[in-house]
Chains A and B, each alone.
Chain A
Amino acid sequence: MVPPVISIRNLSKVYAGGDEALRDVSLDIARGEIFALLGPNGAGKTTLISIVCGIVTPTRGTVVADGHDIVRDYRAARRKIGLVPQELHTDAFETVLATVRFSRGLFGRPPDDGFVETLLKDLSLWDRRASKMMELSGGMKRRVMIAKALSHEPDILFLDEPTAGVDVELRRDMWALVRRLRDSGVTIILTTHYIEEAQEMADRVGVISKGALILVEEKKALMRKLGKKQLTLNLAEPMLRVPPELADWHLALNADGQELLYVFDANEERTGIPSLLRRMSDLGIAFKDLHTRESSLEDIFVGLVSTRSGQ
């Protein structure tokens, strides 16, 4: 088996204030994948990333990045890693070009104007290279942060909420960029609280809640395993309430009584659909149309968190 590019073992963090931000997190990241760390605000996503990047000191646990312990062998580990933080921290008076060159030097790389030019062109920043950071829009600033993070040619890139507060168009751009980076061989770990984003981007998804990693799955397997489907029946005649004869199916009534909803497990042998339809025709309930839809990660996530808190 190929060794993981990042190996996190039993990582815990208790902040000085007593906040337990991470609880015994263990996680392997495979080389070349896009991994999405999904969780609500305050779940511990930024803390986890900050520890791997050396900004926060772990209370317990170890992290190995590309074979290098991040504490003992921090030089080698950090050269492999680029970080785009959640907040847009920039030097207002610096130019785009200067700040990207600075990052490259800081990470121990000799100046390479050709590389920096290509990088800025890739990110559509070349025309703005002489602009001061304070003159740039939020979206531009975010791209400069990405350029800074990529300036030392890292193998691993952390993107902390790359599309938070970004408009739809920019979000699509960002997704395209992340895919291009992955195609060039960079391993990408991104955090998000948009399920849609994890669903769109990730090869694998880790769900984190209250500092604990509650699930790590291939995205497809996750969808398949936990995926429920929903059947919608558009009724010919609206009804006021679900007839008691159909109670076994736990149906819901929607759209002013025009739609019947039935949630079923697509992986089950018996979905319950044929019997439902038979019973409906026995009762003389006609429908104009029907369709099914897969549940999104959002549905899955809500299900997961509620089952856990119910324990």
Chain B
Amino acid sequence: MSAPMFNRHGIWAIYRFEMARALRTLLQSLVTPVITTSLYFVVFGSAIGSRMTGMGNVPYGAFIVPGLVMLSLFTQSLFNASFGIFFPKFTGTIYEMLSAPVSPFEIVTGYVGAAATKSIALGLVILACASLFVPIHILHPFWMVAFLVLVALAFSLFGFIIGIWAKNFEQIQSIPMLVITPLTFLGGAFYSVDMLPQPWRTVTLFNPIVYLISGFRWSFYGKADVPVGLSLLLTLGFCALCLAVIAWIFRTGYRLKS
């Protein structure tokens, strides 16, 4: 009996395992982000938003929706993927993964696929939740979905790397808290980059998050801070970079094998 070249049962097992874990804690995984997002709408959308202008003809409450979806897409993808691979390392059950006939590509597909699925689902829930507060138009639905999926994948891949690198739970929390959330707030989630005075406008363009949010927002309202092609290129580039790092991790066994 020869072994098949592709272990689809293995991918499916990992994917299902990860999804089952999320379903067990469904309430927590949905309720917290939904409440947080709703608070943003109450505070920024209604209270402050009425005083905000300069977003063109898009009401402020609607303007921040893509940024909010992106923010939770970033943090949830990172957290889901990093926790998914960190946990078996932490409990020791990783031995089974390492001794199984699954390739690195299949392991990543299972974990990252599940993490991305969960954060995309959450992104859609937040979008639905937002539509209860503000009128939302999606000008380019195809590109909206494309950015949603690509960004979820990119950050899940990044999260997978963090999960392998992390030695404790604090380190898993640290990257989303200390890097991604600040960059998102400074990256035009709640304002248009055009509104910034120089030199901050130029400085902001070094923040990669700007490009992701801008591209996603463009798919809603057709207005972008930076060229959409650039946004797409950056998202794909980020995916490629993470894949390269993961390939290196598996080749060297970094923090997986002694």
Contacts and interface: CB of A to CB of B under 8 A. Distances in A.
B17 A102 contact: yes
A207 to B, nearest CB: 24
Contacts of A110: 9
A107 B257 contact: no
A101 B13 CA distance: 8
A87 interface: yes
Given A93-B24, A102-B17, A55 B98 contact: yes
A89 B93 contact: yes
Interface in A54-101: 54-57, 74-79, 81, 83, 85, 87, 89-93, 98, 101
A188 B231 CA distance: 56
B253 A106 contact: no
Nearest to A108: B7
Given A79-B101, A89-B91, A103 B96 contact: yes
Contact of B99 (A54, A92, A101): A54
A56 B256 CA distance: 9
Number of contact residues on B: which range applies? 20 to 34
- Residue from the set B2, B21, B101 with the largest chain A CB neighbour count within 10 Å: B101
B10 to A, nearest CB: 5
Contact of A105 (B2, B10, B257): B10
B139 interface: no
Nearest to A73: B3
Contacts of A115: none
A16 interface: yes
Contacts of B98: 53-55
A15 interface: yes
B97 interface: yes
Contacts of B24: 93
A91 B97 CA distance: 13
Given A105-B9, A106-B14, A148 B258 contact: no
Contacts of A83: 95-96, 99
B99 A81 contact: yes
Contacts of B3: 75-76, 79, 108
A279 interface: no
Interface string B49-64: 0000000000000000
A57 B91 contact: no
A84 to B, nearest CB: 10
Contacts of B253: 57
Contacts of A87: 92
Nearest to B256: A55
A103 B16 CA distance: 12
Interface string A35-66: 00000000000000000011111000000000
B4 interface: yes
Interface string B31-51: 000000000000000000000
Interface string B208-246: 000000000000000000000000000000000000000
B156 to A, nearest CB: 20
Interface in B90-137: 91-93, 95-103
A109 interface: yes
23 contacts: A53-B98, A53-B99, A55-B95, A55-B99, A56-B258, A74-B101, A75-B7, A75-B101, A76-B101, A78-B100, A89-B93, A91-B93, A101-B13, A102-B17, A103-B13, A106-B14, A106-B96, A106-B97, A106-B102, A107-B9, A107-B10, A107-B100, A108-B100
Interface of A: 15-16, 53-57, 74-79, 81, 83, 85, 87, 89-93, 98, 101-111, 148
